[in-house]
Amino acid sequence: MRALLALWLLFAASGTVCADTLHGVVIVVIDGDTVLFKPDHYPPGSRTFLKVRLADIDAPETGQPFGEAATEALKARVLKQRAQLEIVATDAYGRKLGHLTVDARSVNADMVRRGLAWAYDSTRASARSGSESFRAYDSTRASARSGSESFRASARGMDRHAMRALQREAQDERIGLWQDAAPTPPWEWRKARAAPAY
């Protein structure tokens, strides 16, 4: 029975987690944490590009303070650049969640370092209550931890403690969105905009 449960967990994790590493080009930057990525090689039956949400971060939305700055910074860093994408999950909207690397540097970490995104762990409580994509990501990671060695290996590439440390440095230096005394986190901004007006 225990072996059957372990096999089922492994099967479930492998079905939701794609610890794939792809090489290609970023062809569009949608906002401060979402891009369209064109891989060099396409798996059979796949589209010619992937919509990718950068994992472990949440950038200000377009329309909120520093939303445009985050989008422009991401464009300057990745648009039409050769990149490596490590896919770690698929969110509730069908987007791939991944770590993007350009010139051997983590783009995800750069956005946090420059004060243009929140680190994932700092959004966890709010994410569970307000963000479908983060809920999907969190549950996928939990499932994967129970059974997928390849996921555990890929997850090591992005250290959450290091991401939080980068965010603290940006806050201490008051750069990017941390210039505001109390910046509105994007998950709160999205939740407020989704609320019906009376």
pLDDT reading at 30 higher than 60: yes
Count CA atoms closer than 13 A to 64's CA, side-chain side. Answer: 22
> What is the per-residue pLDDT across 132-173, written as a single tens digit (0 to 9) for each?
444 444 433 443 333 333 333 333 345 788 999 999 999 999
pLDDT above 70 as % of the chain: 67
What is the residue extent of each domain of the chain? 9-179
Q: According to the model, what pLDDT value does residue 121 have? A: 55
Q: Which of 77, 95, 113, 141 is catalytic?
A: 95
**Overall pTM surpassing 0.75 (yes/no):** no
> What is the per-residue pLDDT across 59-80, written as a single tens digit (0 to 9) for each?
999 999 999 999 999 999 999 9
Q: According to the model, what pLDDT value does residue 159 have? A: 75
Q: According to the model, what pLDDT value does residue 7 have? A: 35
More confident residue, 103 or 147: 103
pLDDT reading at 128 higher than 90: no
Which candidate, 101, 39, 114, 104, places its Cα nearest to that of 70? 114
> Which range, of 96-110, 124-138, 172-186, averages the lowest pLDDT?
124-138
Mean pLDDT of 30-35: 97
Active site (annotated) includes residue 61? yes
Q: According to the model, what pLDDT value does residue 81 have? A: 97
Q: According to the model, what pLDDT value does residue 42 have? A: 72
* Spatial contact of 36 and 27, defined as CB atoms under 8 Å apart: yes
DSSP state of 61: P
Report residue 198 as tokens: 């009376």
Rounded to the nearest integer, the mean pLDDT of the chain is: 77
Q: According to the model, what pLDDT value does residue 195 have? A: 65
The answer for 104, left when phi > 0, alpha when psi is -120 to 50, beta otherwise, is left
Mean pLDDT of 13-28: 72
Report residue 105 as tokens: 């540097």
Mean pLDDT of 25-45: 90
Q: Which CATH architecture has domain 9-179?
A: Beta Barrel (2.40)
Alpha-carbon distance of 97 to 140, in angstroms, equals 11
